Structures are given as structure tokens and as C-alpha cells.
Amino acid sequence: MRELKGLKVEKIALHGYGIAHSANRTIFVPYTVPGDVVDIHLTEQRKDIAFGSVTRYVSRPDFTIKPSCDAFGPKAQCGGCDWLMTPYAKQLEWKQELIHGVFDTVIDPHLIQPIVPSPQETGYRNKAFFPVSSRKGRLIFGMYQSWTHSVVPHRACQIQMPIFDVIAQRIIMLAQKAGTQAYQEDSHGGNLRQIGFRSNSDGSQIVVVLVTKSSKLPFTQLLVKHLNTEFPQITGIVQNIQRRRTNVILGDEDKLLFGKPWITEDIRGLKFQVHYKSFLQVNSGTMDLIGKRLALILGSGKRVIDAYSGIGSIGLGLAAACKQLTLIEENPQAVEDARLNAEANKITNVSFYTGRTEIELGKLAHVRSGDKARFESIIVDPPRAGLDPEVIKAIAQANLNQVIYLSCNPMTLARDIKLLSAKGYQVKSLQPFDMFPQTWHIETLVELVKE
């Protein structure tokens, strides 16, 4: 049986699914909320669980609202948002429940603080890449459909800066007029793959990125002319060439068509140069709140390591309170940006190490072991996969007193807390932040101290 009728959604799960039950099986259904009664079509079935897609909402709870985007919901299945049908206060309640669901069996639940809301509920993302496709002979851009690479067009994305859609629409019009073909994944044909943006927090500086398969893009002069005239906030236009048949968005080749490939951002009183390829948290308002919390937890007068440091947006913002700051980053371009940012802000109590965190941290731990000038604290902000076991081993070998862990993945964070606990570290506080309104994603800041 692939059709089920009258299922009642009981609770929210990670990844934004609603959970229902039928015939002793748990069923995960996107675009649903607790209290929904729905008819569904089963899209995937396993032994004890299944996944379904809503074919009809029989009834919905009173707190639901009309989504503000036509691309949202089970019909179009845009993968950008999860909870546009839900008031923001309710989203925060659910995120708090999800955090407790993950961590209550890992740490003392009393250590979990209330989630900190985002200053902006919509339009908060300062970076975006829109895939380009074609439909009925016309170019389109949008977001990928959930779990596919099918492009879902939209009128105005609710989580990106609104100006991004306006500029992208103009680029599409110019590309269509010039006869530019959208890239086709199945045949590796066409040329224009993605339209990307990087903006500072107030929108006064924007870098536009055109990702293409070939270095040839015949309408670039016309593009630069029109965009410069119509959008004075554009400070750079870059063509990035991704020749490979891959899902990786950016290639290694760049052509600077206009201006500069970076923006300048104010971060807690400092000026940062941010290259369009560099990592920077997409929600500037929430990141500022996290920075203030970090400063409070860290204190002053310590020798601090900032691992996975990127351009130094976290560590350099704390340098004034540190006795000595050491940045570890694998990406050489990001390290160079961090050096420039330190020089521009006259920060001198900082050193830089280029390489994988587990290797560089291991070297530092070996050199400083038993040294009176050893490091006392480490800040880690790893990718979604979390910490490599060798990093945890190196933290323990360095005998660091304090670990401050910023995570975008509650599941890998819970795993790493267990591993750090086995090395003698205990959680002192766990503070969730809402970095990604309208989605299920949660940013979490944890302080661990050596027993």
C-alpha cells in the first residue's frame, strides 16, 4: 500500500520532518507540523520506517499560517525552507525540543539554555548560489528541489537578501537575450551553471558570481554595463569556471570582470576583508550574538587556539582579550585573508598555522606539553562532520583546560561531547542559537572544561 489516508502528525523530527505512525511503522513527512491530519503517498519504505509526501491536508492546527512563498510545500518541494507555514515563536519551541531530544541523554538537561532567536526572521542570508536551468526554452533560476538537482524557480526567496533575486532576474534576462545556454548535468552541455552572491550585512557591498562550464561567456561586457548602472551596490563581478562534471559548485579558475572579488564586513568593531570563496556565517546578526557569548565564556588573559579559523572572523574578534592567539586553518587563501585582516586591524598577538587541524594541533600540543606558556583554551568551529578523532586526541594531549565548540550539527556535536567526556572534559553550558530561521537547522555553542 503506497497511499495512506488520515494520518495524524504527532511531533517534529530532525531534518524538519513531521512524524506519524501507521502499522507499527514510523513515517517521516516533510512540510507537516504536529496536529496536521494528512493523506500521503509513500515515497520510500524500509523495515521500520517510511517517508511520505503530502497529497492532501485534511486539517491543520490553528497556529499554522499561509506560506509566503509559492515554491514552498509538497507541490514544488523547494529545498530552501522547512517551516514557512509556522510562526517564528513556534519554530523556536520546536528547535528547543529538538535540542533536548538530542542532548538530554548526553548531558545534564539543566545545562541546556533557552535558544537565542535570530535578529531577522527572513532575508538574513548574506551569501547564496542559485542553480540555473531551462524550461520550455527559457532560462530559469531558483533552488534545488529537496533531495534532487531539479531547479525550482521562485519569485522572492524568503531567507536570502531580497536584492539577490532582483539582480539574478536581471542576469537571466541578459543571458537569455544573448542566447546563453543553461548547463545540463545529464549531458554536460550548456554553459551557465550558477548565479552567486556575497554581501556584507547592510547590503552596501555585493559581489556577483557567474559560475560557468566554459571560460567563454559572450555577454560579459553588456552584463557589467547594465549591472553597474542599475545596481551601484555591486562592487565586484566574477566569472568562476567549473569545467568538471561534478556537484561541487565552484571551480579553481576565476576571471574578474569588474571591481574586486571580496567585500568588507564589520564584525564586532573590526573590519574584515571577505573573499567570495571564504567561509563566513550566513546570518550576521546571529553571529554577532554568538561572538558576544564567546567573549563572555572565554574571559581574558588566556593563550587561545582558534581551530578551523577561516579568515579569523571568530578568533581575531577575541584577540584583544587574549594573551596570545593562534589560528589554525587548512585553506591557504583563508589564512592569507586572516593575515591581512590582522594587519588591517593592528592585531599583533596572533600567529598563523596552515594545515589540517588534527596535524597542526598535534604539533602544537607536542611543542607546548609541559611548557609553562602552554595553551589554555581552544575554540573549534568544524564542518558538519564534526571533529576528527585525532583532533580530540590532540586536545587531550595538549591538556587544554577549556574547549569552546560551535556546531551546526547537533548529532555530530553529541557524538563529540561523548568522546571529549571520555578524555576528561565535562560540559559546563550548552547554548543553542537560531542561525537559520524557517529551517530546522540549529547552531549550538558548548563550553567544556577539564575535570
In angstroms, the CA 218 to CA 213 distance is 13
Residue 418 C-beta-side C-alpha neighbours within 13 Å: 10
Full strand arrangement of the beta sheet holding 37-45: 3-8, 37-45, 49-59, 25-29, 18-22, 11-12
How far from the centroid of its chain's Cα atoms is residue 13's Cα?
A: 19
Q: For residue 408, indicate whether it is catalytic.
A: yes
Alpha-helical (H) ranges within 320-447 are 332-344, 357-368, 389-397, 410-422
Contact (CB, 8 A) for 140 and 134: yes
Grid cell listed for 430 = 550548552
Longest CA pairwise span in the chain (Å): 70
Cell of 213: 562550464
Q: What are the backbone dihedrals phi and psi of residue 61, each rounded to the nearest 5 degrees, phi first? A: -65, 160
Residue 279 C-alpha from the chain's centroid: 9
Q: Which SS3 state, helix, strand or coil, does residue 450 take?
A: strand
CA–CA separation, 328 vs 335, rounded Å?
A: 8
Per-residue CA distances from 318 to 118, 306, 342 (Å): 22, 10, 12
Helices (H), 201-331: 220-230, 284-298, 315-318
- Indicate the DSSP class of residue 105: T
- Give 37's Cβ-side CA count (13 Å radius): 6
What is the phi/psi pair of residue 447, to 5°? -110, 125
Quick check: 241 and 254 in contact, CB under 8 A?
Answer: yes
- By the 10 Å C-beta count (0-12 exposed, 13-18 middle, 19+ buried), 419 is classed as middle
Catalytic, out of 69, 78, 322, 408: 408
**CA quadruple 386, 391, 393, 394: dihedral sign:** negative
**What is the SS3 assignment for 306?**
strand
Which residues are marked as active site? 408
